Each structure stands twice: as structure tokens, then as C-alpha cells.
Amino acid sequence: MNLTDRQRRFLFGGLVVLLAAAGLYLTLAAPEDEPDRSEARPSGTPTAAPAGPASPPPGIQTPVNPGDFDIYRLLPFTRQEFATAADLAQRFVAAYGTYRFDEPPESYSARLSGFVTDELMAELARTAGTPGLLEERQRDKVVAQGSASLDQVRTVEDNSIIFVVTGTQRVTEGGSASNDRKRYAVTVARDGGALKIYSFQPADAGQAGDTG
């Protein structure tokens, strides 16, 4: 369709008026028609989570005085836990070296069960029930009385302590008596809410420390 100049001017002017009216309507209607979303926007500073305990715990900040230095403030075990672990290692080695030829292996294993983890107990029970070992002790009427001394602390980890313990046995067999000494590396570890013997072996064989 061909338009004259006058018709084109009228058409252009009508479009300008229409667009201006539409813009004015949208400007005035927006605050009422569109819901306010300002409360849904995250703030620039998020709410901080509750503060947890300091990790690692505060150490010794004052000058160290050799006269009252408390080393347990720097260790992952309290004084009581350390003493309990040491006592456990010493008593276990003494119990491990104590047995009789006429004692059922179940009784021997039961004496050790309170010291060790379930995994180590299963291993000790298998060894105690070895037929050849039982036959030899019964044949020679072997009686062994064990004792133990704590020699040193080898390693302290977050969940375990390795002690070097010397076990001494007074052994009677075939009518004669003798003494036998062996050194063990004994790992005491946290097991649930208690301390248990996690593993042990000859001290010169070395031993892994932390149990995870």
C-alpha cells in the first residue's frame, strides 16, 4: 500500500504516542504487579555458623618453667590415659608370658581378652590352640610365670602409644628352671571408649604407630 507523506507522518506520530503510553503504564504498574523479592535475596554477609571448639586446643603460651612444665598439655593423651595405657601394656606382657601345660587354651585366651582388641584376640586364640605347641608343653610339663618392665615410650600418635616392654619368664620344664627375656613393641590404641592392646611384636622388628 502506497502512503502519502501526510499519511506517513500521522502513522509515525500515532506509533510514538502508543509506545510512550505503554512505557508509562509499565513503569507505574511494576511495583504493584510484580512481587517484592528483596527479602529472598541473600545478604552480602551470610549468618556465621556457631563457633566450635578450638582445634588444635590452645597450647602453652606462657614462658616455659622447667620446674612446673606440664608435657601432657602438648600430648593427645591425658596423664590418666597415659598411665592407663602404660599399665595395660605392662600387665598384658606379663599375662602373655604366664601359662601352664595343664591349662586349657580357652582359659589362657580368656585371661588375655580384657587387654586386647577383638582382632588381636582372635589371632592370640588361634596361636594358643596350636596342637603342636600344646603337645610340647604337656610333654615337658611346662610352667611359665611372666613379669614385665616398661622400658621406654617409642612413639606417641593421635590415637596410639607404642611402649617398649621387656617380658621376663620363669620357665620350669622337664624338672629344670630357667629365665627367658624378650623385648616387645606394644601398641596401645583407643578402641571405642576404651584403651586396648592393638598389636605387639618383637621390639627389634619395628612397628607402625597410629591406628587411624
Q: According to the model, what pLDDT value does residue 175 have?
A: 83
Residue bearing the bigger pLDDT, 56 or 110: 110
Q: According to the model, what pLDDT value does residue 211 have?
A: 52
Report the distance separating Cα 120 and Cα 132, nearest Å: 21
Q: What is the mean pLDDT of residues 196-211?
A: 78
How confident is residue 50, by pLDDT bands cut at 50, 70 and 90?
A: very low
Q: According to the model, what pLDDT value does residue 150 have?
A: 97
Predicted structure pTM score: 0.69
pLDDT exceeds cutoff 60 at 52: no
What are the backbone angles phi and psi of residue 180, rounded to the nearest 5°?
A: -130, 135
Q: What is the pLDDT of residues 112-166, one digit of tens each?
A: 999 999 999 999 999 999 999 999 999 999 999 999 999 999 999 999 999 999 9
Nearest to 93 by CA among 163, 194, 189: 163
Contact 115, 92 (CB under 8 A): yes
pLDDT exceeds cutoff 90 at 3: no
Could you give all domains of the chain from N- to C-terminal order, each with its CATH number? 75-205 (3.10.450.230)
How confident is residue 10, by pLDDT bands cut at 50, 70 and 90?
A: very low
